[in-house]
Amino acid sequence: MANFTPVDIKKRKGSSRPVTMLTAYDCSFARMIDAAGIDVILVGDSLGMVVLGYDSTVPVTMDEMLHHCRAVSRGVSNALLVGDMPFMSYQVSIEDALFNAARFLKEAGCDAVKLEGGRTMAPVIKRLVTAGIPVMGHVGLTPQTASSLGGFKVQGQDIDQAKAIYEDAMAVADAGAFAVVLECIPSALSSLITSDIDIPTIGIGAGPHCDGQVLVTNDLLGLYEKFTPRFVKKYVNLAPQISEALLSFKKEVEAGDFPSPEESFPGGEEAVQAIREKAEA
């Protein structure tokens, strides 16, 4: 159980301290992110693309999500841990959604779940919240249905789309979500939603006016080289440094330079002598 609760996140609405949220998919990264004092750790279904090698988030399964949530939960002591409900784990029926959401809390150590969708998902959110499962919403560009939205591109640039996203965000809040992710929408729209809605907005590609910001950790560390969206800031570019380290290992092993005496254990000569003598006897 994290120190940080959905109630703490909700209290940040209108406060001068923005919510910070990052993704994690394993225990070692979770430990570092938690130690950095990040408020919310999301085991995003971006797992599918940045860790599992799928082309989209669509193939990600409940079993894959729960496996990675369990690993992450072992590394978290302070942050709020949110598990992302994968595609078709909450759309088939409300009962199915309730059953799957509960598994994140009961079996994987999560404190809350996140699911994509606005007005159409409001009844699902309401049911989960009524049952005691805190829910984070996600509107704008919703990656699980990106192909129906015309691909991974900015949403809400025309009036009808902007109105629909505004109403989606309000519906998610009315249904009882404690926060909502706004993904890939113009800053002016996220600013309007943020001022009108009574829960914190957490932006990704939604400009500076949200109540908080989230990024995919592998993007901000420069570990995911396949595609970098415009909204990503790489705080460090680790992939080339990792490649360099791997090449150095290969070169040193092939040249006989690794391991050196410093990386080897001394002693054992007497035992070796005894084994030799026994073999010769």
Residues near ligand KIV, by CB under 6 A: 23, 42, 44-46, 84, 181, 204, 214, 216
SS3 39: coil
Residue nearest to ligand KIV (CB): 44
Closest separation in Å from C-beta 133 to ligand KIV: 18
Closest separation in Å from C-beta 275 to ligand KIV: 55
Closest separation in Å from C-beta 48 to ligand KIV: 8
- Cα–Cα distance, 193 to 207 (Å, whole number): 12
The number of beta carbons lying within 10 Å of the beta carbon of residue 192 is: 15
Q: Are 58 and 87 in contact (CB under 8 A)?
A: yes
Residue 280 a catalytic site member:
no
Q: Of 5 and 229, which CB lies nearer to ligand KIV in the complex structure?
A: 229
Please enumerate in sequence order all residues whose Cβ is within 8 A of that of 49, keeping only pairs 6 or more positions apart, or say none.
Answer: 55, 56, 57, 224, 226
Q: Of 55 and 160, which CB lies nearer to ligand KIV in the complex structure?
A: 55
Helices (H), the chain: 6-11, 27-35, 47-50, 62-73, 94-108, 122-130, 159-174, 187-196, 217-220, 238-255, 269-280
- Cα–Cα distance, 126 to 109 (Å, whole number): 22
SS3 156: coil
Among 183, 225, 254, 270, the active-site one is: 183
Q: What string of DSSP letters covers 45-103?
A: TTHHHHTS--SSSTT--HHHHHHHHHHHHTT-SSSEEEEEPPTTSSSS-HHHHHHHHHH
Closest separation in Å from C-beta 65 to ligand KIV: 10
Q: Of 218 and 278, which CB lies nearer to ligand KIV in the complex structure?
A: 218
Cis preceding-peptide flag for 18 (omega within 30 of 0): no
Q: Of 133 and 206, which CB lies nearer to ligand KIV in the complex structure?
A: 206
Closest separation in Å from C-beta 14 to ligand KIV: 22
Q: Of 45 and 168, which CB lies nearer to ligand KIV in the complex structure?
A: 45
Catalytic residues: 183
